Amino acid sequence: MYQWDFGILWTYRWLFLNGLGVTVGFTVVIVVCGLLFGLLGAFGTLSRFKPLRLLALAFIEAFRCTPILVQLIWFYYALPILAGVEMTPITASALALSLYGGSFYSEIIRGGIISIDKGQSEAGAALGMTPGQTMRRIVLPQAIKRMIPALMNQSIIQFKNTSLVSVLAVPDLVYQSQVAAHDSYRPLETYTAVAVAYAAILIPLTILVRRGEKRLAVSE
């Protein structure tokens, strides 16, 4: 029977905290940038101009249909050779994860927008609103409510996907725990603690979102 000893992890507390900071900071960056890419992708696919539609579709499918681990490695090792763009591991992984997340966000945002009854934009148009005004005032406020659960879900996946940046030696929580595990010869305790840390952050968040959803549903 294995003798658990979680006490040993206390020695590495600053390492873990550092890693956690990087992980959380990384998530904030890739969620914000990902949503931005997602918005661009969604409006691209809904555009009246065919070239823009095709471009957005190409972006979405390229990132949605290839593994994120491959994308990370490709952005860091292949892009410098092909395009001559030299990137730090942090920039490369932030970009890859943002674009990867953005491709999924695009589909969520597009789906939310087209789920709003056509009569709503007709009513806006009939009042004399421009398509932009109708989108901002009428469609998006309703669509966002419907998108929130799916956007949150994708953001949770994004949070966990940051663990992959350790392959590019970005010092996130997983990378630091590898260091700790090699040093302490206690991988079981280390990785259990890491799993608990991820869950401890995500579970309160999901509860918060569930509450928010209920509050939003009242005004419908």
Partner 1 sequence: MSETSKIEIRSLRKSFGSNEVLKNINLDVVKGGVVALIGPSGSGKSTLLRCINLLVVPDGGSVRVGDTRFAFGDGSKLPDVRTLANFRATTGMVFQHFNLFPHMTTLQNVMEGPVTVRRMAKADAETLARAQLAKVGLAEKADQYPATLSGGQKQRVAIARALAMEPDVMLFDEATSALDPELVGEVLNVIQQLASEGMTMVIVTHEIAFAREVADRLIFMRDGVVVEEGPARQVIDNPKEAATRAFLSHFHRTGALPPATTAS
Q: How far is the CB of 136 from partner 1 (least distance, A)?
A: 9
CB nearer to partner 1: give 57 or 140. Answer: 140
* Contact between residue 206 and residue 127 where contact means Cβ atoms under 8 Å apart: no
Residue closer to partner 1, measured from CB, 3 or 220 = 220
The distance of closest approach from Cβ of residue 127 to partner 1 in the complex, given in angstroms and rounded to an integer, is 4
Can you tell me which residue has the tokens 């949070």?
159
The smaller minimum CB distance to partner 1, of residues 144 and 179, is found at 144
Considering the complex, state which of residue 130 and residue 206 has its C-beta at the smaller distance from partner 1: 130
Beta carbon of residue 116, minimum distance to partner 1 (angstroms, whole number): 10
> If phi over 0 gives left and psi between -120 and 50 gives alpha, with beta otherwise, what is residue 72?
alpha
Instruction: Tell the smallest beta-carbon distance from residue 42 to partner 1 (Å).
Output: 19
Q: Which is nearer to partner 1, 5 or 117 (CB)?
A: 117
| Closer residue to partner 1, CB minimum distance, 32 or 123 | 123
Q: How far apart are CB 133 and partner 1 at their closest, in Å?
A: 6
In whole angstroms, the minimum distance from the beta carbon of 151 to partner 1 comes to: 18
List interacting residues with partner 1 (CB under 8 A).
Answer: 117, 119-120, 122-123, 125-131, 133, 137-138, 141-142, 145, 219-220
